[in-house]
């Protein structure tokens, strides 16, 4: 599984540097689209906001939930895509965000769906992606919770790069708990350490499998306005968060394994696997070669 350090480097390399600098955009390999995949709450949409903030880019939302009832009909869809292309070019750098990108490429419509999310499936790649030129400082960024449910061929044709975002480890969860608790308690004037008797280390240990969004939800539901007003009388303890944690479903190993299997099928995942195998093969070959040389040398000494 990729680490958070890998995610940071890939976002900087694929998104921030090309969009933030015209010189880098013209000389670096052209990357039109990136897909951010991972469980709910790992920070996919936050990374989209980070890219827009760091590069000063404008954000165009073409998520299926946002455009299903806008500009109806085939002609209206063409007008929508042409308008987005013209605005994106004129006001570049521009990020085109597609939330729940897997819903655009589902093979079968789910039962009870209120609208058809596959409206952009055929025309987006033909009418939008092909019109993006190398000099256009534009990028399509999709976010997906369950990319394994989409048709892999069309998904990988639309998104050139796929990045799998992992759940936070212990040290990251420790900082997340600390950040959100202190952020929420800033509303209290003259805050002292006596008001907060929270064992953050224990909370980080028991929340293995919880994402940043889940932890934030637990902190904000526990530290409500009424509870903050009573901090001076009754200090906050870590046990108070357990009730909120029990109401949130963590990321189970089955879901993580499904995402890992899907990531191995992506172009970037296949490259990583080939590099890992080739590196392992070279190490084994070097060890075998070393043993063979030792045996030959031993025979010569006996003679």
Which pLDDT value is given to residue 283?
Answer: 54
Whole-number Å distance between alpha carbons of 8 and 176: 17
For CA atoms 159, 161, 164, 168, give the dihedral sign: negative
Which pLDDT value is given to residue 275?
Answer: 81
Which pLDDT value is given to residue 266?
Answer: 81
Cβ contact 105:159 at 8 Å:
no
Which pLDDT value is given to residue 92?
Answer: 78
Which pLDDT value is given to residue 262?
Answer: 85
Bridge partners of residue 97, in order along the sequence = 61, 141
Which pLDDT value is given to residue 188?
Answer: 64
In order of start, what are the domains of the chain with their CATH numbers? 4-166 (3.40.50.300), 170-246 (1.10.8)
Helix (H) or strand (E) holding 262: helix 253-265
Residues lower than pLDDT 70 in the chain: 1, 110, 112-113, 187-195, 280-303
DSSP sequence for 148-190: GGB-HHHHHHH-SEEEEPPPP-HHHHHHHHHHHHHHHHTTSTT
Which pLDDT value is given to residue 289?
Answer: 53
HSE, side-chain direction, 13 A CA sphere, residue 246: 5
Strands 33-37 and 138-144 come out as parallel
The CA distances from residue 175 to 48, 188, 196, 199, 215, in Å, are 21, 21, 16, 12, 11
């Amino acid at each position: 599984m990729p680490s958070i350090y890998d995610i940071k480097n890939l976002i900087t390399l694929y998104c921030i540097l090309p969009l933030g600098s015209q010189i880098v955009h013209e000389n670096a390999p052209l990357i039109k689209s990136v897909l951010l995949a991972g469980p709910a709450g790992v920070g996919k949409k936050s990374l989209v906001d980070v890219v827009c903030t760091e590069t000063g880019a404008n954000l165009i939302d073409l998520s299926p939930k946002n455009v299903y009832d806008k500009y109806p009909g085939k002609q209206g869809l063409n007008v929508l895509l042409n308008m987005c292309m013209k605005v994106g070019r004129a006001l570049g750098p521009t990020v085109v965000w597609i939330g729940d990108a897997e819903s655009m490429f589902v093979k079968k419509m789910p039962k009870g769906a209120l609208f058809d999310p596959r409206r952009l499936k055929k025309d987006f790649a033909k009418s939008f992606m092909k019109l993006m030129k190398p000099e256009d400082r534009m990028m399509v960024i999709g976010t997906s919770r369950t990319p394994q449910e989409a048709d892999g061929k069309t998904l990988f044709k639309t998104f050139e790069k796929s990045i799998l975002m992992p759940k936070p480890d212990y040290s990251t969860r420790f900082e997340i708990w600390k950040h959100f608790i202190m952020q929420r308690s800033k509303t209290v004037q003259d805050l002292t350490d006596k008001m907060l008797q929270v064992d953050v280390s224990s909370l980080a240990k028991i929340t293995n499998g919880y994402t940043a969004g889940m932890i934030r939800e637990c902190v904000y539901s526990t530290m409500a306005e009424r509870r903050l007003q009573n901090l001076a009388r009754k200090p906050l303890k870590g046990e108070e968060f357990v009730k909120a944690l029990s109401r949130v479903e963590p990321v189970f190993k089955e879901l993580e394994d499904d995402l890992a299997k899907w990531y191995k099928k992506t172009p970037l995942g296949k490259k990583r696997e080939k590099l890992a195998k080739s590196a392992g093969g070279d190490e084994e070959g070097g060890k075998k070669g070393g043993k063979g040389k030792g045996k030959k040398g031993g025979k010569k000494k006996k003679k």
